[in-house]
Amino acid sequence: MSIERGSALPSSADVVVVGGGVVGAAIAFQLARLGVTDVVLLDKGEIGGRASGRSGALVRTHYPNMDEARVALAALPWFEEWPDRVGGDCGFTATGFLQMVAEPDRPTLRSNVALLQKIGVDTRLVGADQINELQPQLRLADGELAAYEPRSGYADPLATTRGFASAARRLGATVLEGVEVSEIMTAGGRVRGVRTAAGDVDSPVVLLANGSWSASLLSPLGIQLDLTPIWAQVAFFARPPSLPAGRAGQLTIIDRAHGCYLRADGEDRTLVGLSGSRRPLEDLDADHPADPKFAELARRQAALRIPALADAPSLGGRGGPLDVTPDRRMVLGPAPDVPGLYLAVGMSGGGFKKAPAIGACMAELIVDGKASTAPIEPFRPTRFAEGEPLSGAEYTLPSDGVYPEAFDELSAQGLIH
Ligand SMILES: Cc1cc2nc3c(=O)[nH]c(=O)nc-3n(C[C@H](O)[C@H](O)[C@H](O)COP(=O)(O)OP(=O)(O)OC[C@H]3O[C@@H](n4cnc5c(N)ncnc54)[C@H](O)[C@@H]3O)c2cc1C
């Protein structure tokens, strides 16, 4: 996709979307789909250049909180029907997904699966025999129990993000890279546009989809958003020969018993992440190089589930910034007290899979005054001040799958789950 850098900035728009990650790109696309084609999507770097392009990009609907599960469920058909709905290829591969848990969490898994089935998620409990049929290379505990989703898998994070931006552009949106919004302009208490070094864009509607960076644009307006920036990473390994090759050669797995998640990556690699291994991030724009210590830990934890990974050659990794809210759930809705300003931030490490539906919900909110794709009221920015943070029946995380120093600090702040 060719995107103009810093040039051709319009002086006005119906809607300005700040941040060209998967969330902002999906919103611009969904707005244009609803007929709001005078949309300007601005990114200070490159489309998909931060968290979105570096995501693990697991696509699943298993959540211990049903509000989140509803959004993830509404997003899934967008991945499944991407060529017809968006155009091109987002690399979605329906490998099937297993949510695995430690023995003490089995009752919670059972009750979460029952709740998920009630809201229409295609999931079921599977025991050792069925898991063995799905993927014989897994090491299983006595009485192993997992939740299986046949429709889930993973996508290509950069292709998805840039695919949304390209589709938005085809529908008439303006997509610009290298344009940083330095200020949200207001008049008479409501939004009137954005300021950039390349000029102002007048607009009655501004939507922030720029992760942790949003906090510094909001504070001059008197809005304090509690977002903690955290660095998350994934490691790649040569797929062991005992696992099938191919994009769907292995199940996509979140393994809470060992604190890791795994999926196929391309034809012959395996991607591994660690749910608890996150590091505080002081400089939002800093890039941390792939960390060999992380790769070692990831290999060790993943090999507890797939023993063949113990000797798999390391093929590097990548990382990106997460924007974590106090209840580790996203913030969606109108900003308090500033008409015309909307927020879609605080994805807390799970924004990729939900982005297509977040885009639809935010577009509906702006156009119709109400989201119809999924209920987003629970994610309203004011919930913290109202004393109504979100919760769910979470699974425990083992302490051996994390950097001990970061784990203690971040879990004490409630930032890991
Ligand atoms: C290693 C890793 C693994 C992950 N695994 C998964 C997973 O398996 N499944 C899942 O669902 N999620 C996963 N996530 C989380 C997911 O990738 C993020 O939640 C999602 O990409 C966030 O998208 P975003 O658009 O909100 O943010 P970003 O992609 O960070 O985009 C924000 C954009 O805003 C731009 N910006 C900032 N300030 C300004 C400004 N002032 N003006 C203009 N532009 C600005 C930035 O340049 C950036 O491009 C993972 C993340 C990481 C890092």
* Ligand 1 atom 31, closest CA: 21
pLDDT of residue 406: 52
Question: Residues near ligand 1 with C-beta < 6 Å?
Answer: 18-24, 42-45, 49-52, 54-58, 180-181, 209-211, 213, 232-234, 273, 319-320, 322, 347, 349-353
Distance, CA 246 to ligand 1 centroid (Å)?
27
Q: Taking the domains of the chain in order of start, what are their residue ranges?
A: 4-54+158-225+327-383, 97-150+228-324+395-404
Q: Give the separation between CA 271 and CA 264, rounded to whole angstroms.
A: 6
Give the Å distances, CA to CA, from 355 to 20, 265, 351, 412: 12, 21, 6, 29
pLDDT of residue 396: 87
- Per the CB < 8 A criterion, the answer to whether 373 and 232 are in contact is no
Distance, CA 325 to ligand 1 centroid (Å)?
14
Distance, CA 206 to ligand 1 centroid (Å)?
18
* Ligand 1 atom 21, closest CA: 52
* 97-150+228-324+395-404 is classed CATH 3.30.9.10: yes
pLDDT of residue 291: 80
Q: Give the separation between CA 350 and CA 55, rounded to whole angstroms.
A: 9
CA angle 320/326/327 to nearest 5° reads: 100
Q: Ligand 1: which of 62, 210, 325, 358 to mutate, judged by most atoms within 8 Å of the beta carbon?
A: 210
Using 70 as the pLDDT threshold, list the residues of the chain that sit under it: 1-7, 400-417
The torsion of the CA quartet 408, 411, 415, 417, rounded to 10 degrees, works out to 130
Q: What is the topology classification, in CATH, of domain 4-54+158-225+327-383?
A: FAD/NAD(P)-binding domain (3.50.50)
Give the Å distances, CA to CA, from 262 to 32, 96, 268: 35, 12, 13
List, for residues 266-324, the tens digit of each pLDDT value: 999 999 999 887 778 889 998 888 788 899 999 999 999 999 999 999 999 999 999 99
Which ligand 1 atom sits closest to the C-alpha of 352?
11
pLDDT of residue 417: 46
Distance, CA 347 to ligand 1 centroid (Å)?
8
CA angle 303/137/233 to nearest 5° reads: 40
List, for residues 236-278, the tens digit of each pLDDT value: 999 999 999 999 999 999 999 999 999 999 999 999 999 887 7
Which ligand 1 atom sits closest to the C-alpha of 353?
11
Q: At 339, which amino acid appears?
A: P
